[in-house]
Structure 1
Amino acid sequence: MHESERLPSPNSTTHTLRVWKEPILKFIFKATIVGLVVGLFISLFRMAVTEALHLVKDMFGYVQQHLIWVPVLIAGALLLAWVIGLLIKSDPLIKGSGIPQVEGQLVNELHMNWLSVFIKKFVGGTLAIGSGLFLGREGPSIQLGAALGQGIHRLSGNRSVFEEKFLLTCGASAGLSAAFNAPLAGVLFVLEEVHRHFSPIILLTVMTSSVTADVVASQFFGLTPVLSFGHLESLPIKDYGFLLLLGAMLGVAGMIYNKTLLMTQSIYQRITWLPVHLHGILPFILMVPLGLLAPQMLGGGHDIIVSLHQQAFSLIALLILLLVRYLFSLICYGSGLPGGIFLPMLALGSLVGAILGQLFVSVFGLDPMFVNNMVILAMAGFFTAVVKAPITGSLLITEMTGSFATLLPVIIVSLTAYVISDLLKTKPIYEELLHRLTTPFKEAMDHQLESRETAKELIEIPIVIGSKAENQYIRDLNWPRQALLIAVKRGGLEIIPKGDTKLRAGDSILILTDDYTLSEVKQKMNMLCTDCSSYDRE
């Protein structure tokens, strides 16, 4: 018997099932390695962006006093836009935040060259974000982390696509954890936004990599929260009505933001006189007068958020700040420069919170001491309305501010914003961005998948209360043609599925499919097992 006949392919059904049964400690060990590596490189990325931004602000401050250097400043901005444009042209997947790219790769709608993406996203992200544009480092950190997770898998010599997805997921979680010093938010963002459901093995490995990366990042940046607001008084129960009003208005604001962000991308697509990879010239040129007028406004928004706690702004000043940051953040992200909307989105939410807080004080008599509370709550609510991830939004802001006194109000605002956003038919922004991103690559990806060995994927789907699969016999359900049900997990038991096996809420089912049908199967299985829209309330 030949060796090729004895040993299963790393992407075969046999190997995929064998990997799933491997001891959890093996995956935890690999996740720890990913967390260490990602924590180190994302910390270096944070430091590079921070130092570059300080340098740029000092430079604008100097040019304010010596206007003769303005032409040099403009030339430098054009040069940066050109260099970043060359990086984008050589690898278009470094455009934008990187989160849609990671989601696309996990469902095989995109393929990423990990080394190319890591190097070019690191350099391009540092230049774009560190130059003072209204872009965030968090999305790029997630993509960089995912690329490193994929790279660690590739360098180990392992060719299993199934294992690669695990380490890629671990890297993404570790990237957000190191970027914000928020390990729980890193875990939940990947589970709530990227996977939309999870299994114990994913939870444990992602948590391991996220915590490990946070420990590494803490060696560089300490344990101080990223957005320290100091001690905040708890909002009295009698004022909780303001939370519902705040959440409702943020739900509307999130819908407006999503629509205008997508509209901005559409406007850029109509620009024919400038190559796509050079669209970044527009925000770089606009940044020059903005930086000369108010260099303190440059950057993703961290300084703006902190200043709302440290300084008193008039209502007019807050409205101007909101308008400028809103418009310029759309221009920056819509251009496709390598940078995210995570932190700029939080900055917009904080400004909305400060404005509404002042209005609550002057119109409804809210105690002025709670305006800072509104700033924090609005960040969580706006994030939830835009991303449609209320649990992540609540924990992210709690970890970033270090204020657990606001946890209950944060949850109330986030849930209210989510409900209003949902009623307004707002789709998750990263889902919309992924759809736009994958369209140009679809034909090439289909050809690539057809020309290589088919890999097998295992996915674990929970049975949710109110779903079509709940209390149904397996034989009575309309299963996707490309899906093979191989096991039903019920508590600590693993049941061999039969036609007369009845699925219960709380069960998890294991589905085997080909990697090129993963996205389609996942979508159909979620409609069958996790969609509660058909829930009978009678």
Structure 2
Amino acid sequence: MVLAVVVGAGAGLGSVAFRWLITTFTHLFSGHADYASAGGRANPHVPWLGPFFVVVAPVVGGLLYGPLVDRFAKEARGHGVPEVMLAVAQRGGRINPQVCVVKALASALCIGSGGSVGREGPIVQIGSALGSTLGRVAKVPTEQLRLLVACGAAGGIAATFNAPLAGVFFAMELILGTFSAEAFAAAVLSSVTASVIGRAAFGNTAFLALPPFHVQHVAQYGLFALLGVVAGVVGVGFTRVLYWIEDACDWAWRGPEWLRPAAGGLLLGLVLLALPEMYGVGYPVLHKATQGGYVIGFLLLLLVGKILATSLTIGIGGSGGVFAPSLFIGAMLGAAYGAIAGHLIPSTAGNVGAYALVGMGAAFAGASRAPITAVVILFELTGQYTIILPLMLAIVLAAATGRLLSHDTIYTLKLRRRGIDLRTPAPPGHLGTKWVDTVMEAAPQPLPVDTELLAASDELTRSHHGVLPVVDAHGRCLGMLTARAVAKALADDPDGQPLRVGDLVQPVPVITTQMQLATAVHALAAAPGTGLPVLDPGKEHLVGWLTHQGALRAMHGAVPTPPAAVA
């Protein structure tokens, strides 16, 4: 409990620092406190560029945070929450300590230079990394380490949004995935501590100041119910588009990863030039939409634009959350829906702002399927208790719709695409408690990518593994060369066969030293030959070899052969 308070204090201070970084970088890159509400004006720092500075800003930002993430903490890329969920579920709560600093700087640079993402994902990852680091220094048991990670997430959400209850339920429902008296008490202590610090820095007011909304006619409940279903569909659609665009960016980019955010930043800049309301988080635009400040057509344009801009920001390697974009999308959807209902049945529909508010919670619930968190966080963000019944109705229907349409949420789909299912329990016994770096063996001598095929076949003949790892000129592991692939190439075309192993290299599942063995065995089960390469935490360099025999020995507590240095 003492550590939970300390983690909450750290998350609160981290939240204050993170928001200051975002404000500073936004003013530096755009010349405004929040360019989303600036109406496409020029940057006063470079007035000669006019509104075209938004094409340059994401490129410059990408040149700064791209190398930072690639060099020091690759897990800081993306929206952050899935990495925390994975750390709690399958890595015993272990998160690299450098994530705190790298994630804060990278996300602040990304948002400040125009990245259309939120700040909740980064602060969750920052607070969780702090909790993990403190727990490992204090040498607490694994279960308590997981709990401290969740406390960091709760504190980050609480301080950032002035939402202590939402922080607790976010940690319980999304990060831990379970409820217990001990976990609830620790999360509350962390959340309250962080909220006190956040309120001292930002004031004790609702995050979104809105006039009170009321249900004026009983028929409105039917309208809110239908909005919940529509928002659930839109939430799932947002999830699909997000990962479709990320796949497209992965397919299109062939250069170094550190340069990817800058190159992709040019595309993002063109989107911002066409629709400057997509710059950064966009809370001023969201607030204006809840007050009925936009026409229906422009609301729908903002909805589509946010989906595209957020997906592109994540796809090019940006760093930021998807919670705020889902609220933005839901607000645009709800406001447009309410405006249409007002035109069709003006005597029944009621205030457009009420539909925008309900749409915010419903869209998040449809994407994340966290209905408790959605209800609580919308209540705390707005202080609107008068609309709680239609809010609960729409959120539950949105979550149910999302479940009917998709097996995964916006958070778990990122992990499933890597072959990780958080709902699959770890195997019993020793296997579920060991890490890859404790059971890996010495790796076979790797083949350079430009090795001639005949020479490689000789190496495979002398090797007892049946496969050999392939590395590039910088020592980065590219995959494996199998004896079967070489034999097939020689048999199919003995005169014109490929001359280099790079033509036959096969990609392999990424297994790192910090992966839990229970997760790695799923990839190992389908591996050709005797095993799979083990990479360093940066997912580049070969450091060991995981074999079927090594995994079996781990089940019986045997000690594997220590890995030797790889040339």
Within the candidate set 163, 187, 205, 1:224 is matched to 205
The more displaced of 211-220 and 146-155 is: 146-155
Matching residue's letter, 1:316? G
Within the candidate set 94, 107, 123, 2:76 is matched to 94
1:450 correspondence with 2:442: no
Corresponding residue number in structure 2 for 1:374: 355
Within the candidate set 269, 278, 285, 2:250 is matched to 269
- C-alpha distance in structure 1 between counterparts of 2:144 and 2:95, whole Å: 17
Deviation, 1:40, is 0.9
Confirm or deny: 8 A CA contact 1:57 1:296 kept in the other structure: no
User: Aligned residues, how many?
Assistant: 427
Deviation, 1:310, is 4.1
- C-alpha distance in structure 2 between counterparts of 1:73 and 1:358, whole Å: 31
- C-alpha distance in structure 1 between counterparts of 2:103 and 2:119, whole Å: 11
Matching residue's letter, 1:405? T
Deviations along 1:169-210, one digit per CA (max 9) or x if unpaired, are 111111111121111111111211222212211111011101
Confirm or deny: 8 A CA contact 2:95 2:132 kept in the other structure: no
Matching residue's letter, 1:234? V
1:212 correspondence with 2:180: no
Confirm or deny: 8 A CA contact 1:357 1:375 kept in the other structure: yes
1:311-330 equivalences under 5 Å are 312-330=293-311
Confirm or deny: 8 A CA contact 1:133 1:283 kept in the other structure: no
1:58 correspondence with 2:38: no
The residue matched to 1:62 in structure 2 has which SS?
Answer: coil
The percentage of counterpart residues that share the same residue type is: 27
Corresponding residue number in structure 2 for 1:138: 120
Matching residue's letter, 2:42? Y
1:491-506 equivalences under 5 Å are none
Confirm or deny: 8 A CA contact 1:380 1:393 kept in the other structure: yes
- C-alpha distance in structure 2 between counterparts of 1:63 and 1:284, whole Å: 18
- C-alpha distance in structure 2 between counterparts of 1:410 and 1:311, whole Å: 19
Deviation, 1:281, is 2.4
Q: 1:291 to 1:184 in 2, by over 3 A?
A: same
- C-alpha distance in structure 2 between counterparts of 1:367 and 1:361, whole Å: 8
1:62-461 equivalences under 5 Å are 62-63=42-43, 66-68=47-49, 77-90=58-71, 91-109=73-91, 113-156=95-138, 158=139, 160-292=141-273, 295-310=276-291, 312-365=293-346, 367=348, 369-437=350-418, 447-450=436-439
- C-alpha distance in structure 1 between counterparts of 2:28 and 2:341, whole Å: 39
Q: 1:375 to 1:207 in 2, by over 3 A?
A: same
1:37 correspondence with 2:18: no
The residue matched to 1:151 in structure 2 has which SS?
Answer: helix
Q: 1:68 to 1:381 in 2, by over 3 A?
A: closer
Q: 1:56 to 1:68 in 2, by over 3 A?
A: closer
Deviation, 1:371, is 0.8
Matching residue's letter, 1:270? W
Deviation, 1:135, is 0.7
- C-alpha distance in structure 1 between counterparts of 2:318 and 2:419, whole Å: 17
Deviation, 1:419, is 1.6
- C-alpha distance in structure 2 between counterparts of 1:311 and 1:72, whole Å: 30
Deviations along 1:189-244, one digit per CA (max 9) or x if unpaired, are 12112222122111110111012111110101111111111322334323211011
The residue matched to 2:60 in structure 1 has which SS?
Answer: helix
Matching residue's letter, 1:94? A
The residue matched to 2:42 in structure 1 has which SS?
Answer: helix
The residue matched to 2:31 in structure 1 has which SS?
Answer: helix
The residue matched to 2:252 in structure 1 has which SS?
Answer: coil
Deviation, 1:119, is 1.2
The residue matched to 2:213 in structure 1 has which SS?
Answer: coil
Q: 1:286 to 1:366 in 2, by over 3 A?
A: farther
The TM-score normalised by the length of structure 1 is: 0.73
- C-alpha distance in structure 1 between counterparts of 2:228 and 2:95, whole Å: 41
Matching residue's letter, 2:247? S
Matching residue's letter, 2:343? S
The residue matched to 2:117 in structure 1 has which SS?
Answer: coil
Confirm or deny: 8 A CA contact 2:292 2:335 kept in the other structure: no
Matching residue's letter, 1:97? H
- C-alpha distance in structure 1 between counterparts of 2:105 and 2:275, whole Å: 26
* Structure 1: gaps (5+ residues): 1-27, 440-444, 453-514, 521-538
Q: 1:170 to 1:261 in 2, by over 3 A?
A: same
Deviation, 1:325, is 1.6
RMSD: 2.8
Corresponding residue number in structure 1 for 2:547: none
Matching residue's letter, 2:5? T
- C-alpha distance in structure 1 between counterparts of 2:192 and 2:520, whole Å: 29
- C-alpha distance in structure 1 between counterparts of 2:132 and 2:76, whole Å: 15
Deviation, 1:435, is 2.6
Matching residue's letter, 1:399? E
The TM-score normalised by the length of structure 2 is: 0.70
* Structure 2: gaps (5+ residues): 33-39, 421-433, 442-515, 522-567
Q: 1:352 to 1:70 in 2, by over 3 A?
A: closer
Matching residue's letter, 1:221? F
- C-alpha distance in structure 1 between counterparts of 2:116 and 2:144, whole Å: 36
- C-alpha distance in structure 1 between counterparts of 2:101 and 2:364, whole Å: 29
Deviation, 1:369, is 4.5
Deviation, 1:123, is 0.8
Deviations along 1:120-160, one digit per CA (max 9) or x if unpaired, are 1111111001222101110010000001111222343x253
Confirm or deny: 8 A CA contact 2:168 2:184 kept in the other structure: yes
Matching residue's letter, 2:110? A
Confirm or deny: 8 A CA contact 2:268 2:313 kept in the other structure: no
The residue matched to 1:114 in structure 2 has which SS?
Answer: coil
Within the candidate set 5, 13, 19, 1:46 is matched to 19
Confirm or deny: 8 A CA contact 2:89 2:176 kept in the other structure: no
Corresponding residue number in structure 1 for 2:427: none
Deviation, 1:118, is 0.9
- C-alpha distance in structure 2 between counterparts of 1:214 and 1:232, whole Å: 26
Deviation, 1:104, is 0.8
Structure number with higher relative contact order (C-alpha < 8 Å, ≥ 6 residues apart): 1
